[in-house]
Amino acid sequence: MIVRAALAAVLLAGSAPIALAQEPSQAADSYFVEARADLEARLSTQPTMGRARNIILFIGDGMGVSTLTAARIHQGQLAGQDGESTWTAMDRLPYSALVRTYAHDAQVSDSAPTATAMVAGVKTRNDIIGLDQTATLNDCPGSRGREVQSIFTVAEAAGLRTGVVSTARITHATPAAAYAHVANRDWENSSELPAEAREAGCVDIARQMIEWPHGDGLDVILGGGRSQFLPTAATDPEDTQARGLRDDGRDLVQEWQARHPDGRYVWNATQFADLGADRPVLGLFERDHMEFEAQRASDAGGEPSLTEMTLKALDVLEGGEGYVLMVEAGRIDHAHHLGAAALALGDTVELDRVVAAVMARVDLSDTLVIVTADHSHNFTMAGYPQRGNPILGLVVDVDGDVVEARDGHPYTTLAYANGPGAVIGPRPDPSVADTTALTYQQQALVPLGSASHGGEDVAVRAAGPWAHLFQGTIEQHLIYHVMRHAMTQPEPDDQVSTD
């Protein structure tokens, strides 16, 4: 007994707080002071629970961790600040986790299964949207009965409003996961459907969006992809040399207007600016994908930014019982496929502007905000550049010297493992090019026509009800389950006392 008592005393003594007699010698160091203030802020952060009336899911397509870091520096440098120590709006979200993005059949995913995972809670195969793991590519008859319900279907059944905003075609893989079930993500319009799929009764993605049978349909749809909805006989209103892609003769824009006589269809900046809180709204601002943010001002018909579209979507969605909104910065991915880092970072900075604007507007006591990516890209940030070195520039070391590789040429901080920036033969000298140009293709190792996705984990950041569930390392399909959990919790007044 004496031994046990002595051991207990030792354990209790060891569990007592350690008394710090004096401040460490580095207490006045600026980094030390900053980190201690950050600790105090984190200690005061408390999880929010209760029902999330509203859910906003931001998806930076292809926005891997290297993109987040490079874009943070780029954002700070554009503002004339120290880029390395810049804090973005995404950085300020209090909860985060790493997200595993593999598909049911692939180590490296495309956007179809990753978007399905986020909005429907299951993993599926590459190139497949809104179907479970048993569905196979291009098998239209075999897809029957394998449909999975998205969080948007759940929301409509609960009487909530729903919306999808994207800078990509609205029929592209990520936005399509909100409403479509298809055995090939490329089946965006009738002309893309193989004969056997048509004969089996499969419906293209654009038709599925217009005919979506849940609730009163999507309340707001803003993005690109006009040609997917127009027949081949129709001339595009912005590009009179182009025509629609549908070979079934159907004008789905007119059909949408017939289904929603009180709705508003817009295709240019002037019409968009004239929108109030009209509901529903269909905006198709490009016949294909929308412009990159850095090139948006040159668009012939004019088109809104991602920030403007998102804030307008909130105008439409607010005022009801709640809403679920997906916002995709789709062109980050497209710029990376081109090997054009400047364009990718520009669209990432624009996504951060959207997050900042939304965080300033919503009430985090009842709105769950999630910011993540569907997958990464093979985009690297490497070398030993000095602090403040232009993120799009050549590597200059801490001594102020341009660093040369073994071939005698300098290299840029940003590069790709594969893609169109690679050459067969000697590596070109990047110092003779403007590496900061919007269309400059960063050098790559393996020559491919399009840079491929990356397979490493991506980040998820969150704030609002149940955001604290995003911690550690998670499977991508957990995102759906957190959203569903948050939106189905009882309101405080609905909770039954157990006293």
Active site residues: 111
Dig out the tokens for 8 from the structure.
């207990």
Distance CA 327, CA 168 (A): 11
Distance CA 238, CA 386 (A): 46
> Is the backbone of residue 111 left (phi > 0), alpha (psi -120 to 50) or beta?
alpha
Distance CA 66, CA 63 (A): 8
Distance CA 195, CA 172 (A): 21
Distance CA 141, CA 201 (A): 8
Could you list the beta-strand ranges (E) of 28-148. Answer: 54-60, 95-100
Q: CA dist 270 to 275, 300, 312, Å?
A: 9, 12, 14
Percentages helix, strand, coil for the chain, rounded to the nearest 5?
30, 20, 50
Distance CA 377, CA 245 (A): 30
Distance CA 444, CA 395 (A): 16
In three-state secondary structure terms, 55 is: strand
In three-state secondary structure terms, 218 is: coil
Q: Residue 280, preceding bond cis, omega within 30 degrees?
A: yes
- Residue 48: Cβ-neighbour burial (10 angstroms; 0-12, 13-18, 19+): buried
* Contact (Cβ atoms closer than 8 angstroms) between residue 488 and residue 143: no
∠ CA 133-372-333, rounded to 5°: 80
Residue-by-residue DSSP string for 252-279 = HHHHHHHH-TT-EEE-SHHHHHT--S-S
How many CA atoms lie within 13 Å of 282's alpha carbon, on the beta-carbon side?
24
* Contact (Cβ atoms closer than 8 angstroms) between residue 56 and residue 369: yes
* Contact (Cβ atoms closer than 8 angstroms) between residue 109 and residue 454: no
Distance CA 21, CA 178 (A): 58
Distance CA 229, CA 341 (A): 31
